[in-house]
Amino acid sequence: MVIDITDGIESGKVILKVLATNTTSITLLTEEKFNGKVIQPEVSANRTVGEHGLAMSISVQDNDEKHLFLLDSGGLSQTIVENSKQLGMNLNDVEKFVLSHGHIDHFGGLAGVLPLFNKGTEFILNPNCFNQNYIAIMKSGEVIPAEDLGDSLRTLEKEGKLGLNIKLPILSKNMINNLVDQHGIKLVETNEPVKLYKGIATSGEIELFDKEEITKGIYIMKSRKEFETNYFRDETSIYINVKDKGLVVITGCGHCGIMNTIKHGQKLTGIDKIYAVIGGFHEEWNPIEKIEEKVKYFEELNPEIICGMHCTGFTFNKLMSRHPSHTLGIVGTEFHL
């Protein structure tokens, strides 16, 4: 499968803004090495709120045309609504909203955001977002096979061997249908790539070139005793082709694996050069050997901007900071692409 975004967008026409993520700061300084491509909010973030969630806006100024897209809504409705006001982002102007996957730290703000959209705004999600997710992580780091989880879950819990054991809040299809009907939103359920604008497209279902790269410890729960390996068929990323710069890869959590997500984008668009990778890379649970592998991959890829936030984790950012492309993303960080 391919999608044509070879028309691209001229450099300087796209601004990506972080509206919700785990960290806020008014003392993180803008780094001169990016020559205005990455701008930190500094004192303008004095009233913004951090949470375990993610939301980013993509604004395009193309000649006389202005377009605004939104990826995710964070986990709490008031976070994205209030942060947007503080940062001068009018959510009423959003034309298309993309949900990256069906986890509450990305869809939790929907009830506060959808009523702000104008009638006819498109809401794009993969129908697999409605699956029930379950997290079960061993303290030892051992991965529990999905087929064994149902029979062993209670025993492992009683023995105190689980570090995490959580049934995640499910994205309610009825709630979504009620919200879109009530507010005149156009719901687009698809696992296919969608062209948002010239040079900008969603990933559709991300190809798994290496299944070992997916996030371990998250399962699809079919019943109390029936679990499936979660290959994150609901996950959607966004790709932007910036003329003469290359491909920008924007992720929600990167559960499919950040390398798989990049390779999928290269294959889908036919654009090999990577300009920037921004979003959640979900390296927090990985051993240092796996993280080193990702850092080496990025160093060889050599993009201009690498920003792993939200679920990316301290270790990845610590190791990645040795590369000149690395930067930190906080609430209010702007990427002038």
Q: What does the pLDDT read at residue 289?
A: 96
Alpha helices by DSSP H, the chain: 77-86, 104-107, 110-113, 146-158, 173-183, 258-269, 288-301, 314-320
Give me the pLDDT at residue 79, please.
96
Residue 76 in any domain: the answer is yes
pLDDT in tens, 210-223: 999 999 999 999 99
Asked whether the whole model's pTM tops 0.85, one would answer: yes
In a domain, 9, yes or no: no
Calpha distance 250→265 (Å, rounded): 10
Whether 322 is covered by a domain: the verdict is: yes
Q: What is the pLDDT along the chain (337 residues), one digit of tens a residue?
A: 899 999 999 999 999 999 999 999 999 999 999 999 999 999 999 999 999 999 999 999 998 899 999 999 999 989 999 999 999 999 999 999 999 999 999 999 999 999 999 999 999 999 999 999 999 999 998 999 999 999 999 999 999 999 999 999 999 999 999 999 999 999 999 999 999 999 999 999 999 999 999 999 999 999 999 999 999 999 999 999 999 999 999 999 999 999 999 999 999 999 999 999 999 999 999 999 999 999 999 999 999 999 999 999 999 999 999 999 999 999 999 999 9
* Residue spans of beta strands (DSSP E) within the chain: 14-20, 38-39, 55-62, 65-71, 96-98, 122-125, 133-138, 162-167, 186-189, 195-197, 200-202, 218-223, 226-229, 238-242, 246-251, 274-280, 305-309, 334-336
What's 262's domain CATH number?
3.60.15.10
Q: What's the CA angle centered on 102, arms 101 and 105, to 5 degrees?
A: 90
In a domain, 222, yes or no: yes
Reduced to 3 states, what is the DSSP secondary structure of residue 24? coil
| Structure confidence by residue, pLDDT tens digits, 312-325 | 999 999 999 999 99
Assess if residue 260 is contained within a domain: yes
- The answer to whether residue 152 sits within a structural domain is no
What is the rounded CA–CA span in Å between residue 329 and residue 279? 8
- Looking at the structure of the chain, the number of domains it has is 1
What is the C-alpha to C-alpha distance for residues 337 and 10, in angstroms, rounded to an integer? Answer: 9
Residues 208-215: contacts with CB under 8 Å, at least 24 apart = 208/256, 208/257, 208/260, 209/259, 209/260, 209/263, 209/264, 210/257, 210/259, 210/260, 213/256, 213/257, 213/258, 213/259, 213/260, 214/255, 214/256, 214/257, 214/260, 215/253, 215/255, 215/257, 215/282, 215/285
Residue 156 lies in a domain: no
Q: Is residue 22 in a domain?
A: yes
Residue among 235, 237, 324 nearest 278 (CA): 237
CB-side exposure of 295: number of CA atoms within 13 Å? 22
Task: Provide the domain limits for residue 308.
Answer: 14-132+168-336
